[in-house]
Chains A and B, each alone.
Chain A
Amino acid sequence: MDFSYSKTEELFLQMIRSFAENEVKPLAAEVDEQERFPEETVKKMAELGLMGIPVPKQYGGAGGTVQMYIMAVEELSRVCATTGVILSAHTSLCVAPILENGTEEQKMRYLPKLASGEWIGAFGLTEPNAGTDAAMQQTTAVDAGDKWILNGSKIFITNAAYANVFIVMAMTDKSKGTKGISAFIVERGYKGFSIGKKELKMGIRGSATCELIFENCEVPKENLLGELGKGFSIAMKTLDGGRIGIASQALGIAQGAMDETVKYTKERKQFGKSISSFQNTQFQMADLKTKVEAARLLVRSAAWKKDMKLPYSADAAMAKLFAAETAMEVTTKAVQFHGGYGYTREYPVERMMRDAKITEIYEGTSEVQRMVIAGHLFK
């Protein structure tokens, strides 16, 4: 068993840490405050090949591993959770399903542009009445000979306002239940497809979360992703992968809040000494540190299994469940350690606490993760 980073991962970590610190961190507060999608950062990420880390070279990617990709999400989220989720949704929810389910033509058409970051990816499953109960899809896709006609809407779609390619689930045969759901690759600009209202959110406020609207949207026949009726299964497998990304985002937020709190409690003096010297601080921080490290091991183990092509569905669910709850706990306590200052926007822990909450909700709530884990346990 080897828990150390490979030499390649060490090099990657050196790069991504320095990138996050110098290019991402300085913008984090502003991106949050202005609810602004950090286009300039995404452009820089694209130039470095970060938008196509696990994509094989023949499709224009960097030929890296899932492990490297999740390290990137962690390090970016450590300083800016918005930037972390932009990369996670793009890679896990759009690039991965095309890579794993696409035809050679689809891969050649979409992956090089997505991997280079020229195009940004998004994923549409959630609907107003189909959240955790994702099988209740009301968006329909009708076979119209040479094309599919999509009608319906999707909500809470990360990256939507800036994405060029969307993986969209729609009902092709309502009588078949989940086996009647199919996946489609929809491009921005297709007739009948538009982006709806942008959500005003509690956290990750720079990520452009919007509604997708399909009004007789025409999708070319060849843009069916995977087999007809396999959409639900593709969506679930995609979310398995996505959960490793969100687990890494949560881990990054937790680590970021730890970093800030260690720094602050060493500097902050009350009763004539640093508050880091109080045993209450030390014991609480020791517990939090232990949880963060445990989350990291779960995340790395799930990513390793995905890289090794081993089953990882339960591992991803456990990683996300634990990392998300750890992020919420660490950030909440981080605010507490900062006292009144922690409640102000002068210190980043206020933002981190707001950002952490979503990791317990999207790509499957913590309750869904428990369902997935229990499902594997009692199968």
Chain B
Amino acid sequence: MNIIVCIKQVPDTTEIKIDPVKGTLIRDGVPSIMNPDDKGGLELALRMKDQYGAHVTVITMGPAQADVILREAFAMGVDRAILLSDRKFAGADTLATSYALAGAIKTLDYDLIIAGRQAIDGDTAQVGPEMAEHLGLPQVSYVIDAEKTAHGTLIVKKENEDSTQILEVEGKCVLTVLASAFKARYMNVAGIVEAYSKEVEVWGADKIDVDESKLGLKGSPTKVFKSFPKAMKAPGEIHEVSEEEAVEIIVRKLKEKHII
């Protein structure tokens, strides 16, 4: 089984502060990390590798610095790492990004593609589904579990807002995964020691199956009108109490506010 996992390097938004005057994000000194949902997707792939045996390839599109998350992926146990890096990819929105990723994936041999649900820097949740469209594949988003059946199909659990759906998927497909469902393993020490002696394949636009006019800024119809931080909410109250006490507190609050 060949699994491809799409990952992205993002600023650790939990460490980002907002400029109180300009209202913009202060990115200076903010560490870059592997996007949490993507890491969840990688964990799913590695679990499948442990369970059924699989060859796992990670692929990312980004600048040269994105190399570090591919090394991290090596240290977690992946077999192959590809970095799509070319000036022609620069300025890509989700459409151009998913198109480039799909163009790279078309040149690879695969049975399953896994991506994170969404990246914490953009929160669009579009790249995975768009990639499936470019490749003409079925997709299941918001995945919280996936298992292979004896006859080669996948049983996939998908989380909806108020329910869980169980689907059976036949053939190649794209899954987009929730980090909360897959606690990612730590890098192991031997993997870390070897991570920088392995080869990260760096691919330019000429190496993938695409129409170059659809790449990067040229291939990006999205125009960002305005960026602004979310309004801060009050922090709320946290009570670390038993379930019974919690129910009492909630009921009391609801009564106080005349909701019940």
Where the two chains meet, the residues of A that have a C-beta atom closer than 8 Å to any C-beta of B are 7-8, 10-12, 14-15, 18-19, 47-50, 52-53, 57, 61-64, 68
Contact = CB atoms under 8 A, between A and B. Distances in A.
A151 to B, nearest CB: 39
A63 B190 CA distance: 7
Nearest to A61: B190
A11 B188 contact: no
Interface string B53-68: 0000000000000001
B190 A11 contact: no
A83 B189 CA distance: 17
Contacts of B173: none
B49 to A, nearest CB: 16
A49 B195 contact: no
Given A7-B71, A11-B71, A14-B72, A48 B186 contact: yes
Contacts of B191: 49
Size class of B's contact patch? Answer: 10 to 19
A217 B247 CA distance: 62
Given A62-B193, A64-B193, A11 B186 contact: no
B48 interface: no
Interface of B: 68, 71-72, 75, 186-196
A7 B196 contact: yes
A23 B195 CA distance: 23
Contact of A48 (B68, B189, B195, B196): B189
Counting chain A CB atoms within 10 Å of each CB, the highest count among B68, B72, B192 belongs to B192
27 contacts: A7-B68, A7-B196, A8-B193, A10-B68, A11-B68, A11-B187, A11-B192, A12-B187, A12-B189, A12-B192, A14-B72, A15-B75, A15-B192, A18-B186, A47-B188, A48-B187, A48-B188, A49-B188, A49-B189, A52-B189, A53-B189, A62-B188, A62-B190, A62-B193, A64-B189, A64-B192, A64-B193
B75 A11 contact: yes
A15 B187 contact: yes
B192 A8 contact: yes
A50 B189 contact: yes
A61 B196 CA distance: 18
A53 B189 CA distance: 7
A61 B71 CA distance: 20
Nearest to A23: B186
Contact of A68 (B68, B71, B188, B189): B189
Counting chain B CB atoms within 10 Å of each CB, the highest count among A11, A12, A50, A62 belongs to A11
B193 A63 contact: yes
Given A50-B189, A53-B189, A62-B188, 20 more contacts: A8-B192, A8-B195, A8-B196, A11-B72, A11-B192, A11-B196, A15-B187, A18-B186, A48-B187, A48-B188, A48-B189, A49-B189, A49-B190, A49-B191, A62-B189, A63-B193, A64-B189, A64-B192, A64-B193, A68-B193
A62 B191 CA distance: 8
B110 to A, nearest CB: 27
A23 to B, nearest CB: 8
A48 B193 CA distance: 12
A49 B185 CA distance: 13
A62 B193 CA distance: 7
Contacts of A12: 187, 189, 192
A19 B193 contact: no
A10 B195 CA distance: 12
For the complex of A and B, 7 pairs with smallest distance between CB atoms: A49-B189, A62-B189, A62-B190, A15-B187, A49-B188, A48-B188, A11-B192
Nearest to B187: A15
Counting chain A CB atoms within 10 Å of each CB, the highest count among B68, B187, B195 belongs to B187
Contacts of B72: 11, 14
Contacts of A63: 190, 193-194
Contacts of B193: 8, 62-64, 68
Contacts of B189: 12, 15, 48-50, 52-53, 62, 64, 68
A49 B189 CA distance: 5
B74 to A, nearest CB: 9
Contacts of A10: 68
A22 B187 CA distance: 14
Contacts of B187: 11-12, 14-15, 48
B94 to A, nearest CB: 28
Contacts of B196: 7-8, 11
B192 to A, nearest CB: 5
Contacts of A14: 72, 187
A62 B187 CA distance: 12
B176 to A, nearest CB: 24
A47 B190 CA distance: 11
Contacts of A61: 190
Counting chain B CB atoms within 10 Å of each CB, the highest count among A8, A57, A64 belongs to A8
A49 B194 CA distance: 13
Contacts of A19: 186
A57 B186 contact: no
A15 B195 contact: no
Contacts of A50: 189
A60 B134 CA distance: 45
B6 to A, nearest CB: 21
A62 B188 CA distance: 9
A18 B187 CA distance: 10
Contacts of A48: 186-189
A8 B191 CA distance: 10
Counting chain A CB atoms within 10 Å of each CB, the highest count among B71, B75, B190, B191 belongs to B190
A19 B192 CA distance: 14
A329 B193 CA distance: 35
